[in-house]
Amino acid sequence: MGEFDTFFRSAFSVDKVIFSFDGAALKVLLIKRTSPPYKGKLALPGDLVYPNEDLDLAAKRIVEQLTTRKNIISEQVQTFGMANRHPLGRVISIAYLSVVRAEEFEFSPASILQSAQWCNVNEVGELAFDHNIMLLACMKKLVEKASFSPILYDFLPSAFTLSELQVLQETIFQQPFEKRNFRKKLLSLGYLEDLETMQTGVAHRPAKLYRLNREKWVVG
């Protein structure tokens, strides 16, 4: 038996963990599977990778099949390769992470057919395949990245208030921050720009709006 017969009998898939934030909780995009295996079960959106398709492009394709938006960044997180993880054959799966704003992530007809929905990450229940483990790995990665990259700002609109940012960080890091120290710290970092405009239509003193200046971001 030649190498081809022995080894070239496998497939790989990409599964997407797409996060958003609704102002109170971290959400993940799930679909209801329309075909076996695990038909009818909630799962992460994903697909097999075409034989001549780069992995990163497969991740991009899967996102673009779900929404009418373009240019969403995908980041590889981890590969899941237990021999028995897929009931129909040897399929390893590479988990990719994206962070989006739900308001801008308009569902495509294809994702509506699959009952795409935003679920609170703490209330997803049992998912198809090893997708619960994938979700946990991506949540961990998100927390890691949050300390060293501007990834959390992808959850927010381009203009946001410091309170919105604080609630987001408290949700992701799962700890409360003291208001004055939080504001002092963030403004001292120098990458938030005061837009010199205000919230409107709120039943309390309106907050200043800020934007992230990515050029001024420095690691750490």
Question: Which residues make up the interface to DNA (CB under 7 A)?
Answer: 161-163, 178-181, 183-185, 198, 200-208
What are residue 89's phi and psi, to 5 degrees? 155, -175
How far apart, in whole angstroms, are the C-alpha atoms of residue 154 and residue 78? 21
Distance of CA 68 to CAs 7, 63, 109, 179, Å? 38, 9, 9, 37
How far apart, in whole angstroms, are the C-alpha atoms of residue 8 and residue 10? 6
The CA-based angle 123-177-119, given to 5 degrees, is 15
| List of residues 6+ apart from 103 with CB closer than 8 A | 157
Q: Considering the complex, what minimum distance in angstroms separates the CB of residue 198 from DNA?
A: 6
How far apart, in whole angstroms, are the C-alpha atoms of residue 92 and residue 114? 23
81 binds a copy of itself (CB under 8 A): yes
- Choose among DNA, a copy of itself, none what residue 81 binds, the Cβ cut-off being 5 to 8 Å by kind: a copy of itself
65 binds a copy of itself (CB under 8 A): no
- Choose among DNA, a copy of itself, none what residue 9 binds, the Cβ cut-off being 5 to 8 Å by kind: a copy of itself
SS3 54: coil
How far apart, in whole angstroms, are the C-alpha atoms of residue 166 and residue 154? 14
53 binds a copy of itself (CB under 8 A): yes
- Choose among a copy of itself, DNA, none what residue 203 binds, the Cβ cut-off being 5 to 8 Å by kind: DNA
What are residue 193's phi and psi, to 5 degrees? -110, 130
Q: Which is nearer to DNA, 130 or 164 (CB)?
A: 164
- Choose among DNA, a copy of itself, none what residue 55 binds, the Cβ cut-off being 5 to 8 Å by kind: a copy of itself
Q: Which is nearer to a copy of itself, 48 or 198 (CB)?
A: 48
Q: Which is nearer to a copy of itself, 138 or 212 (CB)?
A: 138
- Choose among DNA, a copy of itself, none what residue 82 binds, the Cβ cut-off being 5 to 8 Å by kind: a copy of itself
* Interaction site with a copy of itself (CB under 8 A): 3-4, 6-12, 48-56, 76, 78-83, 89-90, 92, 94
